[in-house]
Structures are given as structure tokens and as C-alpha cells.
Amino acid sequence: MMNKTIKRIALVLILVVICLPIAAKETYLYAKKDTSSLYLDIHRATAGTLSDFQGVPKPTIIHLFGGGFKSGTRDAAHLLKYYQMLNDNGYNVVAIDYRLGMKNYKMGNGLVGIAKSVTAFYASQQMGVEDLYSAILFLASHPELGIDVHNLVLSGNSAGAIISLASAYVVANGEAEGLPEHFQFKGVLGFAGGIISLRGAPKFETLPCPILFFHGINDNVVAYNHLGAFGRGIWGSNYLAAQLKKKGGNYSIYRFKDRAHDVASYMTYLWAEEKTFLESNVMHQTPCIIDALVDNPALPVRKEWSTITPQEMYNGGGVTQ
């Protein structure tokens, strides 16, 4: 009787292991800042996949999670699916922590409340940029990990997209400090992002790395174009793409009709567009400029993102990324 019971337990354990997704990762402490211990996970490309595209090595994707600078984790379930998709297509992924500058923040009412919060949002963005740069320096100082820091593409959704775009902006404008000599990102994948500024609209002094924008036209959380006044606020994908168009930049933008902040969660749904951008615009440096209005009813709708206000997000609205 005991042997039969043991065999049944063993069979159940085998079935559980078989059914679990394969998501092997390596975890490293990359920095300690304030009271935060910041970790990164390396998710290696799936064995047997191609590590190059037509002779050009595939970049490592560094992903920054979303959550309004107040919540979110680098290993959320929906992000693990995204990493697995990238791994299965031959890409290494590095998922990083960053400090949550808006955690426990309470926002005042109306436009005055939003205006006063811009300073806190900007500080949160800059902390994220600093933490990202620290993660890159950690990877650079540990070559045994096999991550080429001169072949990195940033990916981010919502707050993570803001950090990604701001990081590329700082590098392009020659304002980055402490990074490896002659450092440049290879590209950015921005899912519902923008750049927060306290000094007026962002202006690219030199052309940044190739950037792929995805944004819902009706986004009430991260402005599609611009939200703010008196040179303080956030400038979204529509504004940034227009700036790159004027300067002859290497970019593409997908504008989603009848979508709000839903687009921040579309990473696994838009692989065809991501793949084209990575292979053409990034790896082969071919400026395949796409400016598309997307009307696709098959894409999921998160109704809560269509109506939520910033005050509700930071005063107990309960909506998370």
C-alpha cells in the first residue's frame, strides 16, 4: 500500500514538473541604494535557437516593468511569458529591479494635484535611469556573464517605457554619466511611454538609437502627446515620433485606435512588429520607418485603463500593471 502511494506521489510530481513553463533564470544583486537591494534576472535564449540574424549578433533585451513607479515586479507572470517568447526567438533577456519613487505617494485633486506631482514623477524617472545604468555597469564589470553591454536593446512598458526612453534620450544628448566609454543603446521598444521633463519639451541634440513606439491614442495614464504646463510634464510617443521625423531619425510608431493604456500590456501580442524592427532597424540599421494607425478589435481591452484618472491610481484605485 505504501509503495503504491509513493508511486502516485512521484507521478503527480513528474506531471507538475512537465506542465510548468521552462523559465530558467540566473539572479544577481546588482546594487544597493537607499534601503533597496536591486536584483536582475538573466533569462538565456532557448537552446538551439539562432543567436544571430543574417550574420549580425542578436542584442540582449533589457526589460523594465510597468506599474506607475509605485508597484510592479521584474518577474510578474505576464512578463515571464514575454521573456519566454523572446528566449524562444534567440534573445537573451535581462529583467531588472528599479526603485519605486511613487510608492505610497498621494496625489492632490484636479490639475493642481497633477502639476504638483510632476516633480515626484520626474525624480522617479531619474532614479529609474540611474538604476538602469547601475545594472549596465554591473554587467560590464562581470564579463563572465556573457552579456555584451555594447549590444543592448531596452524594452519597457508604462513606467518602464518612460525610463527606457529617458535613458536613451540622456545618452543621445551626451548627459549620461558613468557608463562605458562610447556607450550607445542599440534600440528601444516602448510600450505606452514618454519622457518627463521639468525644463520644457525634450529636444534630441543628436539622433538617438532606433526607437519603436506603441501607444493608445486614448491613453489617460501616460499621455499620447503631451500633458503638463509651463514646461513641466510628460511628452508621449506622438510628440517624440514627430521630433524624430523632423530630424530624420530611425524609428517606427504604431498608434492604436480606440485603445487607452491597454497597449502597455501588449508585448506578447505585437511580436511581428517587434521582430521586424529588431531585425531591420536595429540589427541591420535599415531605417524602416513605419507610421501606422492600428484598428484591431482582436487585441484585448482593459476597460479599467479607459476611465481611470491619475488621482485614482495613486489614491487607492487598485489598478496595477
Residue % of the chain over a pLDDT of 70: 90
- Tens of pLDDT, residue by residue over 150-200, are 999 999 999 999 999 999 999 999 999 888 888 999 999 999 999 999 999
Whole-number Cα distances in Å, 233 to 96, 122, 237: 26, 9, 14
Query: Does residue 21 sit within a domain?
Result: no
Query: Does residue 76 sit within a domain?
Result: yes
At residue 296, the pLDDT reads 96
46: left (phi > 0), else alpha (psi -120 to 50), else beta? beta
Query: Does residue 206 sit within a domain?
Result: yes
The CATH number of residue 111's host domain is 3.40.50.1820
Is there a contact between 78 and 191 (Cβ–Cβ < 8 Å)? no
At residue 19, the pLDDT reads 39
Other beta carbons within 10 angstroms of residue 81's beta carbon come to: 14
Average pLDDT over the chain, rounded to an integer:
90
At residue 321, the pLDDT reads 56
Evaluate if residue 292 carries a pLDDT over 80.
Answer: yes
pLDDT band at residue 303, thresholds of 50, 70 and 90? confident
SS3 label, residue 56 = strand
* Total tally of structural domains belonging to the chain: 1
* Lowest-confidence region among 35-44, 298-307, 308-317: 308-317
| All three cell numbers of 28 | 544577481
Cell 484618472 -> residue = 309
Distance of CA 32 to the CA centre of its chain: 22
Is there a contact between 310 and 261 (Cβ–Cβ < 8 Å)? no
- Tens of pLDDT, residue by residue over 68-107, are 999 999 999 999 999 999 999 999 999 999 999 999 898 8
pLDDT band at residue 239, thresholds of 50, 70 and 90? very high
Evaluate if residue 246 carries a pLDDT over 50.
Answer: yes
Query: Does residue 4 sit within a domain?
Result: no
Query: Does residue 297 sit within a domain?
Result: yes
Read off the pLDDT of each residue in 258-273 and give the average, rounded to a whole number: 96
Query: Does residue 204 sit within a domain?
Result: yes
Could you give phi then psi for residue 281, rounded to 5 degrees?
-70, -35
Is there a contact between 287 and 247 (Cβ–Cβ < 8 Å)? no
Evaluate if residue 64 carries a pLDDT over 80.
Answer: yes
Query: Does residue 44 sit within a domain?
Result: yes
Burial class (CB in 10 A: 0-12, 13-18, 19+), 19: exposed
The domain in which residue 93 lies consists of 26-314
Read off the pLDDT of each residue in 101-127 and give the average, rounded to a whole number: 87
Query: Does residue 5 sit within a domain?
Result: no
At residue 302, the pLDDT reads 87
At residue 313, the pLDDT reads 83
Evaluate if residue 22 carries a pLDDT over 70.
Answer: no
Burial class (CB in 10 A: 0-12, 13-18, 19+), 187: buried
Rounded to 10 degrees, the C-alpha dihedral 110/160/86/21 comes to -80
